[in-house]
Amino acid sequence: MTRFAAPISEQIWDMKYRLKEQDGTPIDRSVEDSWRRIARALAQAEKKPEIWEDKFYSALEDFKYLPAGRITAGAGTGRSVTLFNCFVMGTIPDSMSGIFDMLKEAALTMQQGGGIGYDFSTIRPKGAPVAGVAADASGPLSFMDVWDAMCRTIMSAGSRRGAMMATMRCDHPDVEDFITAKSDSARLRMFNLSVLVTDDFMEAVKADGPWELKYGGKVYHTVQARDLWNKIMQSTYDFAEPGVIFIDRINKANNLSYVETIAATNPCGEQPLPPYGACLLGSINLARLVANPFEKNAALDLEQMDELVQTAVRMMDNVVDVSQFPLHEQAQEAQNKRRIGLGVTGLADALLMVGLEYGTDEAAAQCEEWLRQIARASYLASVELAKEKGAFPLFDKDKFLASGTMQMMDEDVRDAIAEHGIRNALLTSIAPTGTISLYAGNVSSGIEPVFAYSYTRKVLQKDGSRTEEEVVDYAVKMYRDKFGEDAELPSHFTNAQTLAPLAHVKMQAAAQKWVDSSISKTINCPEDISFEQFKEVYMEAYETGCKGCTTYRPNDITGSVLSVSESEEKTPEVDAGADVIYMAEPLDRPEALEGHTYKLKWPDSEHAIYLTINDVIIGGHRRPFEVFINSKNMEHYAWTLALTRMISAVFRRGGDVSFVVEELKAVFDPRGGAWMQGKYIPSILAAIGGVIEEHLIRINFIEGEGMGLKTDPQAEVMAVGEAPRGKACPSCGQFDLQMVEGCMTCMSCGHSKCG
């Protein structure tokens, strides 16, 4: 008997979480071995590890408690990785040396697999004077471009992806450029963006008053607050970014407001963190805790949940002690405050099992009740840990109890904290759980509604062929196992494709009341939602107590999401509206090709490099087909040969291959770049990318330097009957990317933009 509820679950485990030798030989023979490895590793922080190992194993068993992916993949492996998902980095100094010190710290953190968040509001605006150099500042966005290139370089070196979040205050002079930065699809691709919105700004928006954009005490511009708000709204309506973070609300509610000020979040927004703060995540799987599902007496087993929460809090507290950290400052911050983020997943499935329709008042009330129970259990468990191991070092009883979150906490919990202290400064957070939810049997993610009742994914077999398999939501499968495959789903079953946006907000607001950090949630909006209705979603989120708001509206720019057909089965189908058409098979090489040869002389190199790029004519248009790189310098021989083969293979596949230029130009050489024709080129590979870009412009394939595809010259050779498929998954190459919880997620392999 397999422990996995669906084939995709076992595939996710094998691909992402199973411990293997470097050659791919499995060390974890079964998922039970993985649970044992994690339990044993986290029990090492205990005085009697053998006792707690079994208790931790029991919590992990059957996917009841789901540590975040980095814990599941890294605990007990002996590898130099962090078990923390993500970090907010130190405050960026407004100096060149300070900025690049921060860049180095970011690179070291991402190298260990952590996502990072940064507030770029501390950098002076574009055009501001720079003392001592007779020049004007380039502004924070220019440095964000450097961070973006660094992230791509780290990824190209094979490190596991860690996403990045950039924030900027709503009163920074460059905030308007920040808001519209992602309108250029080639810019800041490694970043999620969010504007830090203050209470004063929201009041000015409602009053249609003026708003000053200022830095360092100087007012640079005055705009109408409502105009700036509309600019934020228009950008996210069109491009799904930036998100909005209600930063004053976050700081007022923070249990630690007496020792820290928050100005940034982790990449998905559920963890507002101070400089060098780290997020440690895990989720209680509510879908596994429902007794008598789909019966009249169906209910969440609260006693079992309390016991599970108590064990989970202890496990997460131990992670602080056993994890490695990329930087000393991060370790110190984590140990001083012992912040954890225990959340839930499978909420929507659990609601379906007890007969409630997600998004209704009844479901919101039940969600609030369950989250309150988890908050109580978490805080009381942390008090018990404080009795045994001591309170977190920066605990101040009077100041802690006076914080915004603690003022609404139940009196018995407050009394316990007053008497014994508390081990963890903050305890609850709801993360995007896309991958671990698939691993747990395709339960609904976080507090999101069921994304789709079922969908078809393509699976790569060992012989290279691909088969199709149906992936069914956990609750739907359970219902049909109980009542028959042909059983009609009850009327209270609903999913993300049919849910009204304000119903999403209602559920987020209900959960936020009892979450001391924040919540990662995407509010799906229909493509035809009016701009005024769209703005209402954000205003409702603010008025109902949410700490932030993220929406996704499918359109020609942002891409498609799964859409539900009108059939009784409600089978999702992929919207095939994409601009670029890809060939099914690579082209054969003609007998003769036309091309150009370019000479590239890298400074301080004895020999020049010669690049020959040959083109093919298709449909009257010229497009690149192959590249050859030659040099007398034998030091370059192996990698230039490999590079030519890889680039040529990409060129022969057709479609929009201009990304090759972008990726090469982003490569930094740690030994230093060179100045060429008045530009700083960060590496010889970047120089090669520049030559290829020059050629693509020359043959009219792309619009210009730094710009994308000019036409689609490949459309004429598209396979008959083949639909356009959009962008390919960077992990498996399949054209199954969909927006789930604000992250582009591959429905074939489970790869997620957010890691």
**Residue 104 tokens, joined:** 């180095």
For residue 406, how far is the Cα from the chain centroid?
29
Q: Is 679 exposed, middle or buried (0-12, 13-18, 19+ CB in 10 A)?
A: exposed
Contact 160, 755 (CB under 8 A): yes
Please confirm, yes or no, whether 279 is among the known catalytic residues: no
For residue 507, how far is the Cα from the chain centroid?
21
For residue 641, the tally of other CB atoms under 10 A from its CB is 13
| Cα–Cα distance for residue pair 311/57, rounded to 1 Å | 10
DSSP state of 124: P
DSSP state of 83: S
Please confirm, yes or no, whether 495 is among the known catalytic residues: no
Contact 189, 708 (CB under 8 A): no
Contact 606, 585 (CB under 8 A): no
For residue 47, how far is the Cα from the chain centroid?
36
CA distances from 685 to 81, 357, 656 (A): 29, 55, 20
| Catalytic option among 151, 170, 268, 546 | 268
| Catalytic option among 105, 270, 540, 693 | 270
Please confirm, yes or no, whether 32 is among the known catalytic residues: no
Residue 399: in which H helix or E strand, if any?
A: helix 397-401
For residue 505, how far is the Cα from the chain centroid?
20
| Cα–Cα distance for residue pair 315/382, rounded to 1 Å | 11
| Cα–Cα distance for residue pair 519/521, rounded to 1 Å | 6
**Residue 647 tokens, joined:** 């680039």
For residue 342, the tally of other CB atoms under 10 A from its CB is 30
Nearest in space to 92 (alpha carbons), one of 129, 119, 111 = 119
Q: Is 155 exposed, middle or buried (0-12, 13-18, 19+ CB in 10 A)?
A: middle
Contact 310, 284 (CB under 8 A): no
- φ and ψ of 235, to 5 deg: -65, -45
| Catalytic option among 85, 254, 255, 266 | 266
Tokens 């149906």 label which residue?
470
**Residue 149 tokens, joined:** 């290139």
Active-site annotation, residues = 266, 268, 270
